[in-house]
Structure 1
């Protein structure tokens, strides 16, 4: 049941990260929270399988904060790729 706390925390921080990162018009509203939530689930489950207990701060830091940091980095990369792709398409069309 504790995994739900990690997932809810990662999703909430992912929503906050979505609004803090520029280029919102170039991506969906659920992209960053979805990436953060999925990563939190994978990291939490993996660390549990490795024997890290729920009372360990490293489990929570890695699964919640680590997932949000990686999700934010991926969002930055996706926005940069989209801007580059749009600029190439505009150049090809002569706009």
Structure 2
């Protein structure tokens, strides 16, 4: 049940990251929160399976704070790829 706290926290911070990162018109509103939630689930589960207890601060830091950081980096990379793709399409069309 504690995983829900981590997922909700990471999703909320992912929503905040979405609004802090520029070029929002180039991506969907759910991209950053979805990445943050997925990374949080994978991190929390992986650390639990490796034996880290729910009382460990590292479990919570990695799953709640680390996931939005990874999501923000992924969002910046995806937005950059979208910009380059759009520029290449415009160049190919002569716009």
Please indicate the TM-score interval, normalised by the length of the shorter structure: over 0.9
Q: Which residue of 1 aligns with 2:30?
A: 30
TM-score, normalised via structure 1 length: 0.98
The ranges of structure 1 where at least 4 consecutive aligned residues each deviate by more than 6 angstroms after the TM superposition are none
Give the C-alpha shift of residue 64 in structure 1: 1.1
Residue ranges of structure 1 left out of the alignment (5+ in a row): none
SS in structure 1 of the partner of residue 46 of structure 2? helix
Tell whether 2:65 aligns with 1:65: yes
Aligned residues: 95
* Whole-angstrom distance in 1 between the partners of 2:47 and 2:92: 48
TM-score, normalised via structure 2 length: 0.98
Residue ranges of structure 2 left out of the alignment (5+ in a row): none
